[in-house]
Structure 1
Amino acid sequence: MNNRLKNKFQIRKIRYIRNSSFNKLTLFSHFDIHNRIDEYVIEYLKSLNKFGFDIVFITTSDTLSMIEINKIKKYINILIIKENIGYDFAAWQCGLNIVNNYKKYDTILHVNDSIIFPISNPSRLFKNASKYDFYGLTSSIQKGFHIQSFFLFFNKRLINSKLYKKFWEDIDFTLDKRQIIDNYEIGLTKLIQKHNYKVGALVNHNDIKQLNNHNPYWFAWDIIIDKFNAPFIKKNMLLKSHSEYKEETKFLKYFISQEYLNRVENYIIKYDNSNSKRILGNLSNDYDIYQVLERKLENILIKENSKILLYGYGIYGKVIHSILKDKISLIVDKKYGEKDIGTSVHKNQLFSTLKNDIDYNKFDLIISTPLNDNSNVVNFFKKRIEQKDNIVPLKNIFNKKDLNDIKIIAKAIYPDYQRKLPDSKITTVLNSNYKNIIKFITNYIHFHKLLEKNQLDINSKKLSLILLKNKGNTYIL
C-alpha cells in the first residue's frame, strides 16, 4: 500500500492475511467502543465466508488487540484498522481502494455490524440478490425510496460501470451523519435507478401495508422475520435504551429458531444485562401464544379502526373473532344458520351465504379462514372489490405452528369442539404450562358474556382458572 492511500484514509494498520479465494467480495465495516470483536460479528463473518465471500474487514476500533484479531483471522482476507472518520461509506471506500482489481468480482457486498446475521438460513437471500444489479435487505420510503445501507449487494454489471467507480471516488468523509444519509444512502439508490439498473430488496416496504412512512426494521421486525424469512435483526432493537419496540421483543423465541437463538441471547446479556431478564425470561420459557397471535393479526390491519369481513367461522374463525372483536363488521359462513349463532355473534352479523347485494368495498380487509382450496371464495370477492390485495388468506397471516396452537387452544375451550359435558360438578380439567391459556379463556368468557367479572377466579401462579357457571356446573382449567 502506498503512502498516499494510507494518508488519505488515515489507515493505522493493514494486514494481508490470505489471497483471494472466491468470486464474491464483502467489505465489512466494524466499530466497537470497547475495542472488541463480539461473538455475533464472528458468526456473521463465518457465514459470509461459508457462502463464498472474500472479506475485507475495516474497523475503526483503533486499539484492537491481537487476541481479538485472531478470533476472525480464518474468515477474512484483509484487515484494515483506520481512524474513525466518515462512517460506513468512508470505510467501504477505503476497503475498495485497498482491494487489488475489484472488478474481478461478480458480487461486492457492503455491510456493517449493526445487525445480528444470520438468524435463519440466508441461502434464499443470496439467490434472490443474484437477479438484481443492486439489492438490499430492506427498502424504505423515508425521505424517498431507497435501499437501506446496512447490507448492500452490487452485482457485475454495476461493478464494471463508471457510475460505481465514480460514486466511490467522490465520497466525502468530512460530511456529518445526516448529510451522509441524504447524499449517499438515499442518493445512491436514486442514482442507480436513474441509470436504469435493476433494484430490489428482500423486504419491500410496499409489502407491509401498515408500515406507512415508518422504518421497516423498527416497526415491523417480526413481519420481516416471519413473513419474509429475513435472516437478520437489528442489534439495537434488543437493547432497552434503543428499542421503540421493547414489549414485542419478548416474542423473539417464537420467531427465531433455537439453532440461531444463542447469539441473540449472548448479545442481550452482554450489552443490556439489567434488561436481559425481561427479554431472556421469555426466550428461555414458554412464550404467550395468544399475544403472538394478536400481534400477527395486528400486523395485517391497514388502519387502527379497520372494518373487517371474516369468512369462515370454524376453529380459526372463532379465535380470530375473539382477538379482533369489534373490528369484525361481518362474518360469513355457509355452514351456519341463525340457530347456530348463540351468544357469540349478533344475529345480524352473520350471513349463511355470500350475497351479491353487499358492497364489499366498504371493508378494509377480508380474512378468509378455510385452509383447503378456497379459490372460489377468493374469486367471488376479487370480482366485487377494487383493492384485490385486501383479501388475506389465513395462511398468509399464520404459519403451521400458529395454526396448530390455535387448534389446541380452541379444542380445549370452545364447546363446539369438546365432547358433550355431563351435568356433574367438575365437567372438564385442563393442565397447561402456558400463561396465555388463562388470558385466552378470560377473553373468551368476557366476550361471550358467560360470567360477570366478579365471578371469575384466576390464579396465575398455579396457572389455573376456576369458572363458576350459573347452573352449578364447574369448569376447572
Structure 2
Amino acid sequence: MHPSNQALVVAHFHQDGQLRSDTLNFLEACQGSFKRLIFVSTNLSEAQRALIPDFVECHLRENIGYDFFSYRLGVSLLVDTSIGCEGLGETFDRLTLMNTSFVISDAEKFIKNYFFDGLSKLDSDFVGLTLHLSDGTIYPHLQSFLLSFGKRVLNDERFIAWWSGLELLVNKDQIIRNYEIGLSKFIDELGYTKTSIYSPAKSQMILDPMHGNFEEILDKYGVLKIGLFKINPFRLKLDPLILRAQADEKFRLLLVDGMEN
C-alpha cells in the first residue's frame, strides 16, 4: 500500500472503554497509508490506549455530542496545524471521518476498496460508502459512519465554519436530522458534488443499504454495521451471518465483540 496524502479521523466509542480487536487491526493496517491519522475517543481506558500504534494521534474527550463532536475535534486539530495554508486542501488531498459503529472483517480489503480504489476512481467533492435513499420524506444523505471530503470542500471556509458552529445536542434523532442529514444538505447547498461509492443494483424497500444490502457490502468492503445484528431494526433474515459465524470462528468472535460494544 503506497503512502497517501489523506487525513483520517476515527471517532471511537465503546460502552466499557474497550478497543475492539477489529478496530485495532484496522489501525495497525493503516500504517503508511495516511499523512495523519487522528483517533478520538470519549472513554478509552488507559490500558487500551497503550495498545494504539505510535503513529496514531490519540485524543480523549468528554462523552458529549456523539460522534460529530469527535469529528469536530479532529477537524479542529487538523485546522490548527494547517495555519498558514489557504485551506486544509492545501495540506491534504482528502479528509475522511469514520466511527466505530461497524465491524471490519477484513482491514486490507476495506482500506484498498474504499480509501484507494474507491476514492481514486471518483472525481467528487463529498463521498461516502453508502447513500441513505429517499422515500420522499427523508432527504437523501451520505451516511455519517464513513465520509470523505475532497480538496475543494477542504479549502472552503464555510465547511470549517460548519464544524466550529456545531451546538451540543443530546437527542440522537436531532443529531441525525441536524448533523448527518444536515451535512449532506449543507454540502449540496454549497454546490459541491456528492457521491456514494456503493450503489444498490436495483430499487429496494429498505432505504438503508448497510441493512438492505449488508451481505454484498460485507463481501466487497469487509464492513458490517453493528446495529444490523445487534438490533436488527428491519427484522431481516440474518441467515448469511449465522452461516458465516458457524464456519468461521474469527468472524463469530467479531460479531460477539460488536454485540458488546
Alignment partner, residue 168 of structure 1: 163
The gaps in structure 2 that reach 5 residues or longer are none
2:222 pairs, out of 210, 227, 231, with 231
Structure 1 residues 271 and 55: alpha-carbon distance in aligned structure 2, compared to 1, 3 A threshold: closer
Which residue is 1:208 aligned to?
Answer: 202
Question: Aligned partners of 2:202 and 2:25: how far apart in 1?
Answer: 29
Structure 1 position 147 matched with structure 2 position 142: yes
**What's the counterpart of residue 152 of structure 2?**
157
Q: Shift of the alpha carbon at 1:262?
A: 5.9
In the other structure, the counterpart of 2:192 is 197
In the alignment, structure 1 residue 92 sits paired with structure 2 residue 71: yes
Kept after mapping to 2: 8 A contact 1:39/1:263: no
- Per the alignment, residue 129 of structure 1 pairs with 119
Residue 267 in structure 1 maps to residue 246 in structure 2: no
After superposition, the Cα gap between the structure-2 partners of 1:53 and 1:237, relative to the gap in structure 1 and judged at 3 Å, is: farther
TM-score by length of 1: 0.46
Structure 2 residue 54 is the aligned partner of structure 1 residue 74: yes
1:28 aligns with 10
Q: How does 1:263-302 map to 2 (within 5 A)?
A: 263-270=250-257
The equivalent residue for 1:382 is none
Given the superposition, is the C-alpha separation of residues 176 and 271 from structure 1 closer, same or farther in structure 2, using an over 3 Å criterion? closer
Deviation at 1:49, TM superposition (A): 3.1
Measured after TM superposition, the shift of residue 50 of structure 1 is 4.5
SS of the counterpart of 2:15?
Answer: coil
Identify if the C-alpha distance between structure 1 residues 128 and 73 changes in structure 2 by more than 3 Å, giving closer, same or farther. Answer: closer
Partner SS state of residue 203, structure 1: coil
- 1:133 Cα deviation after fit: 1.1
TM-score relative to the length of structure 2: 0.81
- Cα deviation for residue 173 of structure 1 reads 1.9
| Whole-Å separation in 2 of the counterparts to 1:270 and 1:191 | 35
Could you say which residue in structure 2 is the equivalent of 1:222? 215
CA distance in 2, matches of 1:94, 1:263: 33
Alpha carbons 1:40, 1:263 under 8 Å: kept? no
Indicate the percent of aligned positions where both proteins have the same amino acid: 22
Matched with 1:293 is none
Contact 2:188–2:194 (8 Å) recurs in 1:
yes
Partner of 2:101: 114
Q: Secondary structure at the match of 1:95?
A: helix
Give the AA of the match of 1:135: V
Q: Deviations over 1:43-91 (max 9, x none)?
A: 12223335335211110116x11x2112113341x21111111111111
Matches within 5 A, 1:391-406: none
Which ranges in structure 1 are unaligned for 5 or more consecutive residues?
Answer: 1-20, 274-477
Deviations 1:182-214 (Å, cap 9, x if unpaired)? 111112112212233221112125x332x2353
Q: Aligned residue for 1:138? A: 130
Give, in angstroms, the shift of residue 225 of structure 1.
Answer: 3.4
Please tell me whether the aligned partners of residues 4 and 32 of structure 2 are also in contact (alpha carbons under 8 angstroms): no
The whole-number CA distance in structure 1 between the counterparts of 2:113 and 2:149 is: 17
Q: Is the 8 A contact 1:144 1:186 kept in 2?
A: yes
How much does 1:38 deviate? 1.4
Structure with larger Rg: 1
- The residue number in structure 2 matching 1:42 is 24
Question: What CA RMSD, in Å, does the superposition of the two structures yield over aligned residues?
Answer: 2.7
Letter in 2 for 1:208: K
